[in-house]
């Protein structure tokens, strides 16, 4: 990678190939989003420990705080004291809210799409049956008309 933005990372190439092959299912989308946020929790937890070692005396306490913040639980047992930590908190809070909105929206969309496909298939099968019945009725009427004709 020479810094060219058109070049994709190995992870993004694998994801693109997976989507092209099988499409993007809600379970895969949720797994990708959750994985990215787990990475963010680790990174922000480490950063928070590095910039505010007095409050976050271990990396684990930083990751605990990041997890609480992303999930919007926010126990308040550990909070950043300086503005950089608070800025990180803002990013995590907005990201956490976005995470839940995107996951909820994509899962709901998948359920709606699946339900529409099922009802569409059932409706199509019902229409085919009715067309067959009408075809049989028309054939019977033609027979009756043929018998009545001199």
pLDDT of residue 1: 44
Tell me, yes or no, whether 26 lies in a domain: yes
Q: Please, which residues have CB within 8 angstroms of residue 61's CB and are 6 or more apart in sequence?
A: 45, 49, 78
Tell me, yes or no, whether 142 lies in a domain: no
Instruction: Give the domain range for residue 61.
Output: 10-109
Tell me, yes or no, whether 149 lies in a domain: no
Tell me, yes or no, whether 81 lies in a domain: yes
Tell me, yes or no, whether 80 lies in a domain: yes
Question: CATH number for the domain including 21?
Answer: 1.10.287.70
What angle is formed at CA 25 by the lines to CA 111 and CA 114, rounded to 5 degrees?
Answer: 25
Q: For the chain, 150 residues long, give each residue's pLDDT as a single digit of tens.
A: 444 555 567 777 776 776 677 666 667 777 777 888 889 999 999 999 999 888 889 999 999 989 888 887 877 788 888 888 889 888 888 888 887 787 777 778 777 877 777 776 666 777 788 888 888 888 888 888 888 876
Tell me, yes or no, whether 2 lies in a domain: no
Tell me, yes or no, whether 117 lies in a domain: no
Tell me, yes or no, whether 1 lies in a domain: no
CA dihedral 91, 93, 97, 99 (to 10 degrees): 60
Q: Total structural domains in the chain?
A: 1
């Amino acid at each position: 990678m020479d810094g060219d933005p058109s070049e994709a990372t190995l992870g993004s190439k694998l994801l693109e190939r997976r989507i092209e092959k099988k499409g993007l299912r809600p379970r895969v989308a949720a797994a990708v989003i959750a994985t990215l946020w787990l990475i963010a929790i680790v990174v922000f937890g480490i950063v928070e420990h590095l910039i505010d070692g007095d409050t976050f005396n271990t990396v684990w306490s930083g990751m605990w705080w990041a997890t609480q913040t992303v999930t919007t639980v926010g126990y308040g047992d550990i909070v950043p004291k300086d503005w950089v930590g608070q800025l990180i908190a803002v990013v995590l809070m907005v990201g956490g809210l976005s995470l839940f909105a995107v996951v909820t929206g994509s899962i709901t969309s998948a359920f709606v799409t699946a339900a529409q496909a099922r009802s569409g298939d059932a409706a199509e099968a019902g229409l085919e049956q009715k067309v067959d019945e009408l075809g049989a009725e028309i054939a019977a009427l033609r027979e009756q008309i043929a018998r009545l004709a001199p």
